Amino acid sequence: MRTVKLFSALTLVTCWIASAPAHADTQDDDIGTRPAAPRKAEVAVGPLTSPESSQGNAPPVDARPEGEYDATGAGPRDMGGPSSMDEPTDWAVLHAGLRPHLGTFGGVAAMALAHERIERFYGGFSLSLIRNDAGTHIGALQLAIGRNLSDEFIGVSQLTLAENRARTFMGLGQIALAYNRSLDWYGALQFAAINRTQEFYGGFQIGGYNRTEQEFYGLAQIGGYNLAERDFVGLGQIGMYNQVNEHFTGLFQIGVVNAQGEIYDEHIDGKDGSFVGLVQGGGANSTGRFRGVLQAGMTNFSGDFVGGFQVGLAAYSKEFRGVAQIGGGNITEKLYGSQIGVANISEEVHGVQIGLFNHTERLRGVQIGLVNHASDGVLEWSPIINMGFGDDEGYAYQARRRAARTARF
């Protein structure tokens, strides 16, 4: 099995170099947004002294939460909504200012040149040249030159030149030139240089770096680096490097490197990572369990292969049950099917080997090639053609002979 170990090490180096960014940071639930401040009726103002309570006085100013103060810090803000008319700007059609901080806004647009904070936004637009910050945004469009932050975004789009963040995003969009970040994403599109979400349920992640920290249920991840840290269910992944740490279920995975699973050594036992789909195609493909039509690349690695074809310069499967391994060098421990290549090596063959050099310890089928070796074949060494039809007892006898010869040396 030295050849197998060498092949595994070669592919491991290729996959590990490409997957290094996946280990660069850890999951962080604090993504920089903060929830909407509670309404006045819901705010606990703290215990009052007996004299204050008996006289019906309001609590001291410093007993109120910090978020309940106006921009000047002079007094309490009213966050109560339409039933409280202390601040009519909370319910307006249009609002503009350098740093507006509103409790509840219902209208067409709120505009700011610097930083606007709206606890609850219901309306059409929220525009800022620097930053938009909303506890809850229900409407269409947050647009900023700098950053859009929302604890909950329910609407059509977040658009910015720099960064969008939403703990919960429901809608169509989230488009940025630089960075999109969310925890729970339900929508149709994420588009940015970097897209990162905890759970994705929707259409597409498109960008240079796409990462889903848990499950991806959507259409596709398209970019330079695509990562689903748990399961991927969708059409496919297209990129330079595609990785699903647990289970891939889709139609295709196409890239320079395609991998399932973080712990590469476990692929040998077929315990880590699985691919269920049509095609896995790229420079290097690696999966614990493959269930599909085609695995095609420069190097192909599968712990347990069931399906159609494994095609490439080099291919390894611990157990291959399919139509054919086709390539320069094909290696299996157990073959149920055929191998077609320059060199075909399998510990146990149930089928056909066709190549310049064919080797197996146990042959239950036919070898066709320039040099054929089968420890329990009709001939141990044979040119052109060899066959093997022995039973398990004969194989055990041959194994004991090999062990005895090894012991003598």
How would residue 272 be classed by pLDDT, with cut points 50, 70 and 90? low
Query: Rounded to two decimals, what is the model's pTM?
Result: 0.71
The whole-number pLDDT of residue 311 equals: 96
Q: What CA–CA distance (Å, rounded) separates 197 from 29? A: 10
For residues 149, 154, 156 and 158, what is the CA-based torsion angle, rounded to 10 degrees?
10
Structure tokens at 276: 């269920």
> Tens digits of per-residue pLDDT, 123-142?
888 887 788 888 888 888 88
Residue matched to tokens 């039973």 = 391
* Closest C-alpha to 126, from 163, 157, 85: 157
Residue 176 has pLDDT above 80, yes or no: yes
How would residue 392 be classed by pLDDT, with cut points 50, 70 and 90? low
Tell me which H or E stretch contains 348: strand 324-374
Q: What CA–CA distance (Å, rounded) separates 199 from 8? A: 32
How many residues appear in the chain? 409
Structure tokens at 251: 């139609």
Strands 324-374 and 381-389, by their bridges, are antiparallel
Q: Which residues contact 255 (CB under 8 A, 6 or more apart)?
A: 226, 237, 238, 239, 240, 241, 242, 282, 283
Q: What CA–CA distance (Å, rounded) separates 81 from 118? A: 12
Are the C-beta atoms of 365 and 351 separated by less than 8 Å? yes
Q: What is the DSSP letter of 393?
A: H
Domain boundaries of the chain, sorted by first residue: 49-78, 79-192
Q: What CA–CA distance (Å, rounded) separates 216 from 372? A: 47
Are the C-beta atoms of 245 and 231 separated by less than 8 Å? no
Residue matched to tokens 């007094």 = 75
The whole-number pLDDT of residue 29 equals: 54
Q: What is the mean pLDDT of residues 371-393?
A: 86
How would residue 22 be classed by pLDDT, with cut points 50, 70 and 90? very low
The whole-number pLDDT of residue 401 equals: 57
> Tens digits of per-residue pLDDT, 182-238?
889 898 888 889 999 999 998 889 999 999 999 999 999 999 999 999 999 999 999
Tell me which H or E stretch contains 13: helix 2-19
